[in-house]
C-alpha cells in the first residue's frame, strides 16, 4: 500500500466532491447526494507502478459519466485533488466513457481510510497512482498541470501496457 | 499510514551527495520550523520518499529513484544548513 503522507480522516457529514470547470463554475455533491446517484459495480484489473497487478478487483461507485452529465466544458485536461493535498493529472477523456469511477466500496465492504476511503478515484487503465485516494474534486484545465508524482519523476500519463513509469520512459 | 524518521532519507541521499544530509538542518518553506533532516517524517519508500515537516505536515523533500535516474525536489525547504569540516 502506497502513501505520500498521513491518512486524512474525513467525516461523511463534511465530505464533498466538486468538479471545477475552466469557466470557474463549480458542481458539488455531498456524501448523501453521491449516495443517491446510480451505482455501478466494476470488476477490473489494477496495476501498481511498483510492478504488481491485482486481477478482477470488485468496486462499487458512481461513474464519472454520471457526475459529468450536467458539466459544460471544453477543457482537455483534469487535475484530480484529494483531502490531504495529493494531486494527479490526466487527460479529461481518460475519465469519461465508462473508464473511471468515484468508488466507495471494495470487495463489498466500505472503503477503509487507509485504502482511500471514504471515496477514491478509480481509473484502472492507468497506473494506480492516478486513482487518487481520498478524492475531493477534479479541476478542469485548458492546459496540462502535472500532479504530485508527475512533478517528481513519474510519467505524465502512466499507461501500464506501455510501462510508462518514469518521465523518461 | 505510518512514517519513519528522516534517517530513512540518509541512505538514498548518500548516493547523490558527498556529505551526510541527515545531520543537516532544514527550514520548512511552509511554517518556518527549523530542524534536522533526521527529524522529518518520511513516508514511502514507494512510489518515492516523501519527507514531511514534523510541525505542519507539509512536504519538505521528495526523492524518487528510477533504475538509472533520481529526482530530488527540495522546494519545501527554504534552505539546508550543512555542517562541513574545516
pLDDT for B1: 65
Question: In the predicted model, is pLDDT for residue B86 greater than 90?
Answer: no
pLDDT, average across residues A18-31? 98
Chain B residues close to A5, C-beta within 8 Å: 1, 43, 50, 52, 57, 59
Distance, CA of A30 to CA of A17 (rounded, Å): 7
Residue A42: strand, helix, or coil = coil
Q: Which tens digits make up the pLDDT trace of A122-134?
A: 999 999 999 999 9
Contact A42, A59 (CB under 8 A): yes
Which residues, listed in sequence order, are joined to residue A18 by a DSSP beta bridge?
A28, A137
Distance, CA of B33 to CA of A30 (rounded, Å): 36
Contact A65, A97 (CB under 8 A): yes
Are B64 and A154 inside 8 Å of each other by CB?
Answer: yes
Distance, CA of B39 to CA of B71 (rounded, Å): 21
pLDDT, average across residues B13-34? 92
Q: Which tens digits make up the pLDDT trace of A103-149?
A: 999 999 999 999 999 999 999 999 999 999 999 999 999 999 999 99
CATH architecture for residues A16-162: Alpha-Beta Complex (3.90)
Q: How many CB atoms lie within 10 A of CB B86?
A: 2
Q: Which tens digits make up the pLDDT trace of A25-76?
A: 999 999 999 999 999 999 999 999 888 899 999 999 999 999 999 999 999 9
Number of H helices, E strands in chain A: 2, 10
Q: Which of residues 22-81 of A touch B (CB under 8 A)?
A: 49-50
pLDDT, average across residues A73-90? 98
In a domain, B28, yes or no: yes
Distance, CA of B50 to CA of B39 (rounded, Å): 13
Going by C-alpha positions, the residue among A2, A6, A10, A4 that lies closest to residue A137 is A10
Contact A122, A103 (CB under 8 A): yes
Contact A121, A100 (CB under 8 A): yes
Going by C-alpha positions, the residue among A21, A22, A18 that lies closest to residue A34 is A18
Q: Is A112 on the interface with B (CB under 8 A)?
A: no
pLDDT for B85: 80
Q: What is the DSSP letter of A40?
A: B
Q: What is the pTM of this model?
A: 0.93
Nearest CA in chain B to A6: B1
Distance, CA of B27 to CA of A150 (rounded, Å): 25
pLDDT for B22: 86
Chain A residues close to B50, C-beta within 8 Å: 4-5
In a domain, B63, yes or no: yes
Contact B22, B37 (CB under 8 A): yes
Contact B20, B74 (CB under 8 A): no
In a domain, B86, yes or no: no
Chain A residues close to B70, C-beta within 8 Å: 153
Distance, CA of B34 to CA of A71 (rounded, Å): 45
Q: Which tens digits make up the pLDDT trace of B59-77?
A: 999 999 999 999 999 999 9
Q: Which cell numbers hold the place of A10?
A: 474525513
Domain that holds residue B11: 4-81
Q: How many CB atoms lie within 10 A of CB A147?
A: 23
Domain count, chain B: 1
ipTM above 0.85, yes or no: yes
Chain B residues close to A3, C-beta within 8 Å: 1, 43
Give the DSSP H or E segment for B8. helix B7-14
Residues of B with CB under 8 A from a CB of A: 1, 3, 43-44, 46-48, 50, 52, 57, 59, 62, 64, 66-67, 69-71, 73
Amino acid at each position: 500500500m502506497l502513501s505520500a503522507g498521513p491518512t486524512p480522516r474525513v467525516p461523511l457529514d463534511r465530505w464533498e466532491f466538486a468538479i471545477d470547470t475552466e469557466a470557474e463554475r463549480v458542481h458539488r455533491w455531498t456524501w448523501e447526494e453521491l449516495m443517491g446517484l446510480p451505482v455501478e459495480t466494476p470488476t477490473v484489473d489494477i496495476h501498481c507502478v511498483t510492478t504488481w497487478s491485482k486481477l478482477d478487483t470488485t468496486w462499487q461507485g458512481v461513474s464519472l459519466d454520471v457526475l459529468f452529465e450536467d458539466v459544460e466544458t471544453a477543457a482537455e485536461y483534469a487535475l484530480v485533488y484529494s483531502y490531504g493535498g495529493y494531486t494527479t493529472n490526466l487527460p479529461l477523456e481518460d475519465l469519461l466513457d465508462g473508464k473511471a469511477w468515484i468508488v466507495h466500496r471494495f470487495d463489498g465492504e466500505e472503503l477503509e481510510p487507509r485504502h482511500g476511503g471514504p471515496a477514491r478515484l478509480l481509473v484502472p487503465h492507468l497506473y494506480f497512482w492516478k486513482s487518487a485516494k481520498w478524492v475531493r474534486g477534479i479541476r478542469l484545465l485548458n492546459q496540462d498541470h502535472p500532479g504530485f508524482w508527475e512533478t517528481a519523476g513519474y510519467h505524465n500519463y502512466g499507461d501500464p501496457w506501455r510501462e510508462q513509469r518514469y518521465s523518461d520512459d | 499510514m505510518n512514517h519513519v524518521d528522516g534517517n530513512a532519507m540518509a541512505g538514498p541521499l548518500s548516493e547523490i551527495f558527498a556529505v551526510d544530509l541527515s545531520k543537516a538542518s532544514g527550514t520548512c518553506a511552509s511554517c518556518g520550523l527549523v530542524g534536522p533532516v533526521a527529524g522529518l517524517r518520511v513516508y514511502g519508500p514507494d512510489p518515492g520518499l516523501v519527507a514531511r515537516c514534523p510541525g505542519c505536515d507539509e512536504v519538505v523533500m521528495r526523492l524518487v529513484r528510477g533504475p538509472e535516474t533520481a529526482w530530488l525536489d527540495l522546494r519545501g525547504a527554504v534552505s539546508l544548513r550543512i555542517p562541513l569540516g574545516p
